[in-house]
Amino acid sequence: MIELKQLQKVYDQQQDAVIKDVTVNILPGEFFVMVGPSGSGKSTILRMIAGLEPITGGDLIIAGERMNDLPPKARHLSMVFQNYALYPNMTVSENITFGLKARKVASATQLQRLSDALALVGLTDYAYRYPRELSGGQRQRVALARSIVSGAEIILMDEPLSNLDAQLRESMRYEIKALQRKLGITVVYVTHDQTEAMTMGDRVMILNDGVVQQIGTPMQLYELPANTFVAKFFGTPQMNVLTAVTDWQNQGVAIDTPFDPDAMVGIRPEAARLNPENADDMAIEFWVATATQIGSETLLFGTINGREETLQFKISGHLDVPTEQFITLYIPRNALHYFDLNGNMLAAVGV
């Protein structure tokens, strides 16, 4: 549906490209998420797809047609912004049909699409309200409805939920995703929020500094992170990455590695257990500095054998773990991730 081929963006000739050779194929009907820290280039890519930002290099193909030099209108897509961009002096209905009017769509068609869209986003009773009379979530639904009536097969969304409070954000995630499925449209969704990416994306592309780090399903990114950047981006708390396995071995920690002994070992906090599950689980003596109970989980912060790195583990259950003393933690061997000295995955056993 949308192909990016070695897409590049240079804003300032004196500076490096901010988007470096991004190549990906976005499939029809896919919910495709672009995620990464602030400044990694997500919005720039989205704006190049939309036609709001000139493309410096590479190709943008939509439905088989090269779109680099075509104006936004010719690209068969619609965009939803973070700030909704509603007209304050127009009612909900007027906001939704504004684009259809401008394109001189027949009024019977307009009315039909309007009532369908209002029903879809659950705002039928709000058709004659003004944006100021709506909650943040309702405004965002109006913006969605406006995109839907346009009939576009592709909707681009730039952090559409970031102005909403946490509870609403969560319910809107499911609403948007359900709507996308129902309509069968292709969505390209930008967010900096790992949870949003993981819960909404059919596939997720993670960017850092204008470079694609990995593209995959949420489970692939979690279970087989291509490098330490991806490994640390997804999952809370972050994956523990222990450097130089030899150092650990010298201190009596029984980590064995099938790889270069200088390799780094990654352990997700949630991999730890208080009791062994398998005969060959890795046992580590862990100095518990603090233990914090957060609802159904207990978070442990501490160190191993006097090494400086603070590690975090997450044990499920509400437990009274003693602090300021050693406890034994068990890590299944298949939960270990290995990275080379550049941070690239050597292997993740246990998928």
| Residues making contact with ligand ADP (CB under 6 A) | 11-12, 18, 36, 38-44
Q: Which amino acid is at 279?
A: A
Q: Hey, what's the torsion of the CAs at 307, 311, 315, 319, to 10 degrees?
A: 70
Residue (192 or 307) nearer to ligand ADP, CB? 192
Least CB distance to ligand ADP at residue 77 (A): 18
Residue (30 or 159) nearer to ligand ADP, CB? 159
Q: Hey, what's the torsion of the CAs at 190, 54, 210, 181, to 10 degrees?
A: 20
Burial of 308 (0-12, 13-18, 19+ CB in 10 A): exposed
Least CB distance to ligand ADP at residue 264 (A): 27
Q: Which amino acid is at 37?
A: P
Residue (40 or 140) nearer to ligand ADP, CB? 40
Burial of 168 (0-12, 13-18, 19+ CB in 10 A): middle
Alpha helices by DSSP H, the chain: 42-50, 92-102, 107-120, 136-149, 166-183, 194-200, 218-223, 228-233, 245-250
Alpha helices by DSSP H, 13-135: 42-50, 92-102, 107-120
Least CB distance to ligand ADP at residue 162 (A): 11
Which tokens hold the place of 84? Answer: 């909704």
Residue (37 or 122) nearer to ligand ADP, CB? 37
Least CB distance to ligand ADP at residue 198 (A): 17
Least CB distance to ligand ADP at residue 190 (A): 6
Nearest to 154 by CA among 122, 174, 180, 172: 180
Residue (12 or 125) nearer to ligand ADP, CB? 12
Least CB distance to ligand ADP at residue 213 (A): 13
Residue (44 or 140) nearer to ligand ADP, CB? 44
CA 291, 292, 297, 300 torsion: positive or negative? negative
Residue (33 or 336) nearer to ligand ADP, CB? 33
Least CB distance to ligand ADP at residue 56 (A): 12
Cβ count within 10 A of residue 351: 10
Least CB distance to ligand ADP at residue 108 (A): 40
Residue (57 or 276) nearer to ligand ADP, CB? 57
Say whether 187 sits in a helix, a strand or coil.
strand
Residue (155 or 264) nearer to ligand ADP, CB? 155
Least CB distance to ligand ADP at residue 47 (A): 7
Tell me which long-range contacts 16-19 makes (C-beta under 8 A, separation of at least 24): 17/56, 17/57, 17/210, 18/44, 18/210, 19/44, 19/45, 19/48, 19/56, 19/210
Say how many Å lie between the first and final Cα of the chain, rounded.
30
